[in-house]
Amino acid sequence: MHIAFILKGYPRISETFIAQEILALEQKGFKIDIFSLRRPREKFTHQLNKKIKAKVYYLPEYIYLSPLKIFLSWLKIKKLPGYKLSKKEWINDLKKDFSINRIRRFAQAIVLSKEMPKTITHLHAHFLHTPTSVTYYASKILEKPYSISAHAKDIWTINEWEKKKKLDEALWVTTCTKQNFKHLSDICPSSNINLVYHGIDFDRFPTSNIIEKNHKDLKIDYSVIILSVGRLVEKKGFDILLNSLSLLPKELNWKLEHIGDGPLNKKLKKLSDKLGISNKINWNGTLTQDRVLNFYRESDIFVLASKVTDTGDRDGIPNVLMEAQSQGLACISTSLPGIEELIINNISGILVKSESVQELKKAILELINNPIKRKKLAKEGQKIIEEKFSMHNGIEKISKLFLN
């Protein structure tokens, strides 16, 4: 089976869950080509991506940069039987959402339709927003079926009419949290929507023995290492985390290690300066997965202060929480529906009210001062990851969907 994966960007350091899915499907015998709407943001990539054999095509990111390519592609595909229907659908969408983005997506669908090998029988889009828009129009042009993997921001920040339209016509849909599943099922009850967790690849994240850390007493000759991994965007709540850390007792010797980058980089560094804690923070930037793994193993506590933004953007089940738990880290996060599917409060981690600086500070302080509880939560968290969140469970489900 030859499948086209349509992605917003490839490769992306922050989207290892997509790369691990593609690699696992290739290892099961599926032939995959990747069509990316954008080129990579980073200059390096994970070893995981280097193992993927799929041919990668880059669609024109902006119309003004590739007008000739788009025009020549249009001359070819406008003769196809499905072109008129696709154009009609696009015009109807444009009336509801007149934007440069909507025009760009149809142009990308034109190039996608022209460049796609004829042997491809199925189109699969990761993310319900822009990648599925391009996939939807191309599937009409080529008269080939498509499916969708819906995740987080892509579900909660687009209009209901657009979600329903895309779900209605998809052959099947996967999503990664119960909240997402219910939301999409309520919008389109007749669609084939499936709950599939991303899960952990234990070949890359082998579970290690949980070693009780020596941070029982707050001595001055070492630091309690607090780790947080995530893009510097609003929904990750790093402003909440910084404010919470600033309230910890002055005599407490702690260090925050952050991994990731994003648009709020400068703003958050200014906030840490203002709070007087910049000397206790290492901003490590974007790192390869093997280096991130070392941080998981060398840290004492993992914290992710996720929240829902004004636009509705939110986390599903953050992969970094699963990764941290697989490595025996006690985790603190917020009581959002997706995260509650992973962490049971005070059993496999600690959940605090989203955006509560005081509750987060209290939870961090509790785990620093209570190594017995820290070890207990870490052990139970690791056990749940091993039992419920193996990547292979999800890959089996997705394989069957492609083959049915």
pLDDT tens for residues 136-151? 999 999 999 999 999 9
d(CA 148, CA 216): 48
User: Concatenated DSSP letters for 196-237?
Assistant: ----B-TTTS-----PPPSTTS--TTS-EEEEEES-SSGGG-
Confidence bin at 218 (pLDDT 50/70/90): very low
**What was the pLDDT predicted at 219?**
46
For 1, 83, 148, 163, 188, the CA distances from 168, given in Å and listed in that order, are 24, 20, 11, 8, 7
Would the pLDDT of 209 be above 80?
no
Q: How high does pLDDT run on average in the chain?
A: 94
pLDDT tens for residues 264-302? 999 999 999 999 999 999 999 999 999 999 999 999 999
For 167, 352, 372, the CA distances from 249, given in Å and listed in that order, are 51, 20, 21
Confidence bin at 222 (pLDDT 50/70/90): low
Instruction: Answer for the pair 149, 177: CB distance below 8 angstroms, yes or no.
Output: no
pLDDT tens for residues 326-376? 999 999 999 999 999 999 999 999 999 999 999 999 999 999 988 889 999
d(CA 180, CA 173): 11
Burial class of residue 404, CB neighbours in 10 A (0-12, 13-18, 19+): exposed
Using N-to-C axis directions, what is the helix angle for 238-246 and 357-369, rounded to 10°?
Answer: 60
Assign 12 to helix, strand or coil.
Answer: coil
Would the pLDDT of 82 be above 50?
yes
**What was the pLDDT predicted at 125?**
98
Q: Which of 37, 351, 367 is nearest to 215 (CA)?
A: 367
User: Domains of the chain, with CATH numbers?
Assistant: 2-199+390-403 (3.40.50.2000), 224-388 (3.40.50.2000)
State mean pLDDT over 179-185: 96
The secondary structure of residue 279, as a DSSP letter, is G
**β-bridge partners, 349:** 345
Assign 151 to helix, strand or coil.
Answer: coil
CB neighbour list of residue 185: distance below 8 Å, 6 or more residues apart:
191, 193
**What was the pLDDT predicted at 62?**
94
With b for 16 or more beta-carbon neighbours within 10 A and e for fewer, the 227-250 pattern comes to: bbbbbbbbbbbbbbbbbbbbebee
**What was the pLDDT predicted at 256?**
97
**Up-side HSE of residue 297: CA atoms within 13 Å toward CB?**
11
State mean pLDDT over 76-82: 96
Q: In what order do the strands lie in the sheet with 55-58?
A: 55-58, 31-36, 2-7, 122-126, 146-150, 173-175, 193-195
**What was the pLDDT predicted at 207?**
83
State mean pLDDT over 65-74: 96
Would the pLDDT of 212 be above 60?
no
pLDDT tens for residues 94-150? 999 999 999 999 999 999 999 999 999 999 999 999 999 999 999 999 999 999 999
**What was the pLDDT predicted at 157?**
93
Would the pLDDT of 213 be above 70?
no
Its pTM stands at 0.92
Q: In what order do the strands lie in the sheet with 281-283?
A: 281-283, 254-259, 224-229, 301-303, 330-334, 350-352
**What was the pLDDT predicted at 215?**
46
With pLDDT > 90 as the criterion, what percentage of the chain qualifies?
Answer: 89
